[in-house]
Structure formats: C-alpha cells, structure tokens
Amino acid sequence: MKTKLSTKSILFITVIFGAILRFSYINWDSYQSFHPDERNIAWAVTRISFFDQLNPQFFAYGGLPIYVYKALSNSVSTLTRDPSWTSDWGKIAVVGRFVSAFLSTLSILLIYKV
C-alpha cells in the first residue's frame, strides 16, 4: 500500500530540516567574534543605549540590525541575569546569528508561498 505525503507534511519536514541546518553550531567561534562584519556590528551595538544614546555612529549595514540586536541582547541579558550579553562582542554576534537563522528559516515558507 502506497502512502503519499501531503504538501503540508513535506513543507513541515523541509522547514524543520532547514531550521536544524541553520541553528546547528550557531556558536561556531566560541564567542570569539572572528568574523569582521559581525565584530563591527557588535561594536556598534555596544555603543548604543536605549534611550540615552541611540546613535551608534556606524551605519555601514543600516540601522535596523543594530537596534534589533541591542533589544534582543538586552532581553537575553535580563532573562539570564548575565550582563555580558549586552557588552561581549561574541555574545552579541551569537544573537545576530540567531536572528539571521530565524529569518532564513522563515524564508523557506516565503519561497513556498511564491
């Protein structure tokens, strides 16, 4: 007896597999921030403070990622009670990788819809 996988089942499997690939080894550099672009963004994130100093004086990659990473870094710092999430470049880079992996996983659904 043949069973046919539904389109939703195949999409679900594809999204799960894509998420596994994207989130695996997200901390590949052990918080060392080897990638120069990630380091530059992390440096800019450490320069801003909600709502005292919102100008990172660095907009090579646009402002949105800087503010999103800062907000998420503050949230992780509050949840874990570890203030280094707001000042350590390596940890800020991991937050950025998480955002990138999450949005990239969502792109699978977008491509399916197209």
Amino acid at 11: L
Q: How far apart, in whole angstroms, are the C-alpha atoms of residue 21 and residue 9?
A: 18
pTM of the model: 0.86
Is the CB of residue 96 less than 8 Å from the CB of residue 38?
yes
Helical ranges in the chain per DSSP H: 7-23, 36-47, 64-80, 89-113
Calculate the average pLDDT of the chain: 92
Find the distance separating the first CA and the last CA of the chain, reported in whole Å. Answer: 33
Tell me, yes or no, whether 62 lies in a domain: yes
Question: What range does the domain containing 42 cover?
Answer: 7-113
Question: Number of structural domains, the chain?
Answer: 1
pLDDT score for 87: 93
Tell me, yes or no, whether 74 lies in a domain: yes
Comparison of pLDDT for 98 and 55, the residue scoring more:
98
What the block records as the tokens of 77 is: 């710092």
